[in-house]
């Protein structure tokens, strides 16, 4: 395996970890409207991710940085090609990022409401448009010989990209509810489970539609039939695991299942892309990993750096989660956060 392929896999891994972690952050943000019934519950829900959301989002920043550092031609084409969509993702992330602090400081009901809505909007916009970008990209878009992407409106907005965006939002919501079941006690915990009992059947329907559209609209199943099939089945299987956890009230299983299902979506896309990073409608203009990559010297340095730093990050990251394990009860304590 070449270093550039290794970095393609590493970028995929970083995105997968990002979706696993920030996925439930997004879901928690959505739950402020879909699950909570009053401000007290909304604030309690928000506070479940208070210490974690920033660290979780750093995985996206790292994935972006790693893309720039190892496969810059991909980074350049993707980010410039989907300019408006990335702008919308950024607007969502900005609103969401400030909402925690600003909500804490707001003193009027209107102010609190405003930032709680910003938190909700900032939790639903990024997963929708990120998934939309990824699923538009894998269908193949117009590109020039220099590697610039010029997706037309219907290359970006089409059935698969919209279904993909909705599926990303739905999976995040389900994942977020599973996280809430782990972190909150009282009626909210039960309601989150009940809501997931309704959402999971819808999710399964969505996953089937998604799989059919991926089969029809991309070359994943013609290029790599077996691996694509297996990964698609894994997405469903992990979702079933999550559903099992909902039915049997096993919260840990639910959380692991929905998180892994989200990660598997990235695995499916990266598996289908390989050995390309951008798929052009004219195959001659597609960008291959080897053409997108940096020099072996740079990649060697990056590999050494990653081998040293990623394990250290993982250790204190997990430790930071172990500090906040006590369940939050929105009714017993007036949540100040």
Partner 1 sequence: MLGVGLSIVSLARFQFAMTTVFHFFFVPFSIGMGFLVAIMETIYAVKKDKVYLDMAKFWGKIFLLSFAVGIVTGIIQEFQFGMNWSEYSRFMGDVFGAPLAIEALLAFFIESVFIGIWMFTWDRFKPGVHAFMIWMTSIGTMLSAIWILAANSFMQHPTGFKINNTTGRIQLTDFGAVVANPQLWKVFPHVILAAFMTAAVVIAGMSAWGLLRKKKDENHFFKTSLRFGLWASLIFAIASAGAGDLQTQQIIKDQPMKFAATEGIYEDTKDPAPWTVVELIDAKDHKASGKIEVPGVLSILAYHKLSGSVKGMNTINKELHAKYDNKFGKDMNYYVPPKTLFWSFRVMTGIDALVMLVALVGLIFSRKKKDTIENHKWMLVVLGLSIWLPFIGNSAGWFITEFGRYPWIVYGLFTIAQAVSPTSTVASLLFSNIIYFLLFTLLGGVMVWYCRQTLHHGPYFEEADSKQNVDPFAKEAFGQ
Tell me if 117 contacts partner 1 by CB under 8 A: no
Q: Minimal CA–CA distance to 255: which of 161, 182, 321, 154?
A: 182
| Interface characters, 178-217, with partner 1 (x: CB under 8 A) | ----------------------------------------
Residues 123-162 that bind partner 1 (CB under 8 A): 146-150
Nearer to partner 1, 140 or 206 (CB): 140
Which part of the chain contacts partner 1 (CB under 8 A), choosing from 49-57, 162-170, 208-216, 231-239?
49-57
Nearer to partner 1, 38 or 107 (CB): 107
Query: Strand pairing of 287-288 and 276-278?
Result: antiparallel
| Interface characters, 85-114, with partner 1 (x: CB under 8 A) | -xx--xx-xx--xx-xxx--x-x-------
Nearer to partner 1, 202 or 309 (CB): 309
Total binding residues for partner 1 by CB under 8 A?
Answer: 71
Looking at the chain, which runs of residues are DSSP E strands? 276-278, 287-288
Among 9, 39, 40, 79, binds partner 1 (CB under 8 A): 79
| Smallest distance from partner 1 to CB 241, Å | 28
Contacts of 286 (CB under 8 A, 6+ apart): 140, 143, 276, 278, 279, 280
Give SS3 for 141: strand
Nearer to partner 1, 222 or 334 (CB): 334
| Smallest distance from partner 1 to CB 48, Å | 8
Among 6, 34, 72, 223, binds partner 1 (CB under 8 A): 72
Residues 210-239 that bind partner 1 (CB under 8 A): none
Cβ neighbours of 106 (radius 10 Å)? 16
How far from chain centre, in Å, is Cα 270?
Answer: 14
Contacts of 85 (CB under 8 A, 6+ apart): 129, 132, 133, 156
What span, in angstroms and rounded, lies between the C-alpha atoms of 294 and 69? 7
Q: Are 274 and 8 in contact (CB under 8 A)?
A: yes
**Burial label, 186 (beta-carbon count in 10 A; 0-12, 13-18, 19+):** middle
Distances (CA, A) of 259 to 175, 255, 293: 6, 6, 30
| Smallest distance from partner 1 to CB 216, Å | 28
| Smallest distance from partner 1 to CB 116, Å | 14
Q: List the Cα angle 291/295/300 in 5-degree steps.
A: 125
Cβ neighbours of 222 (radius 10 Å)? 9
Residue 276 bridge partners (DSSP) = 288
Distances (CA, A) of 248 to 194, 197, 325: 12, 11, 22
| Smallest distance from partner 1 to CB 72, Å | 2
Nearer to partner 1, 133 or 163 (CB): 133
| Interface characters, 273-312, with partner 1 (x: CB under 8 A) | ---------------------xx-xx--xx--xx--xx--
Nearer to partner 1, 111 or 201 (CB): 111
Among 21, 69, 180, 279, binds partner 1 (CB under 8 A): 69
Among 9, 33, 39, 65, binds partner 1 (CB under 8 A): 65
Q: Are 7 and 299 in contact (CB under 8 A)?
A: yes
Nearer to partner 1, 154 or 316 (CB): 316
Tell me if 317 contacts partner 1 by CB under 8 A: yes
DSSP 8-state symbol, 26: H
């Amino acid at each position: 395996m070449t270093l550039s392929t290794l970095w393609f896999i590493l970028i995929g891994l970083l995105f997968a970890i990002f979706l696993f972690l920030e996925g439930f952050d997004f879901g928690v943000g959505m739950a402020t409207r879909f699950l909570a019934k009053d401000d007290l519950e909304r604030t309690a829900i928000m506070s479940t991710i208070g210490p974690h959301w920033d660290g979780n989002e750093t995985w996206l920043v790292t994935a972006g940085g790693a893309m720039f550092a190892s496969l810059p031609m991909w980074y350049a084409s993707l980010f410039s090609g989907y300019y408006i969509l990335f702008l919308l993702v950024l607007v969502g992330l900005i609103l969401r990022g400030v909402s925690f602090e600003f909500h804490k400081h707001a003193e009027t009901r209107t102010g609190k409401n405003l930032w709680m809505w910003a938190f909700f909007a900032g939790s639903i916009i990024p997963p929708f448009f990120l998934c939309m970008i990824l699923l538009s990209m894998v269908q193949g878009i117009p590109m020039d010989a220099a590697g610039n992407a010029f997706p037309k409106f219907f290359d970006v907005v089409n059935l698969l990209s919209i279904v993909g965006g909705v599926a990303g939002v739905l999976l995040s919501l389900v994942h977020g509810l599973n996280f809430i079941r782990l972190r909150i006690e009282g009626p909210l915990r039960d309601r989150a489970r009940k809501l997931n009992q309704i959402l999971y059947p819808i999710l399964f329907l969505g996953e089937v539609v998604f799989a059919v559209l991926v089969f029809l609209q991309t070359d994943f199943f013609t290029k790599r039939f077996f691996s694509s099939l297996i990964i698609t089945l894994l997405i469903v299987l992990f979702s079933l695991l999550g559903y099992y956890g909902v039915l049997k009230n096993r919260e840990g299983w639910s959380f692991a299942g929905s998180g892994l299902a989200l990660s598997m979506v990235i695995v499916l896309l990266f598996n289908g892309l390989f050995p390309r990073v951008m798929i052009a409608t004219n195959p001659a203009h597609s960008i291959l990993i080897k053409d997108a990559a940096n020099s072996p010297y740079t990649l060697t340095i990056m590999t050494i750096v990653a081998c040293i730093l990623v394990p250290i990050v993982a250790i204190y990251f997990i430790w930071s989660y172990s500090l906040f394990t006590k369940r939050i009860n929105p009714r017993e304590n007036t949540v100040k956060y």
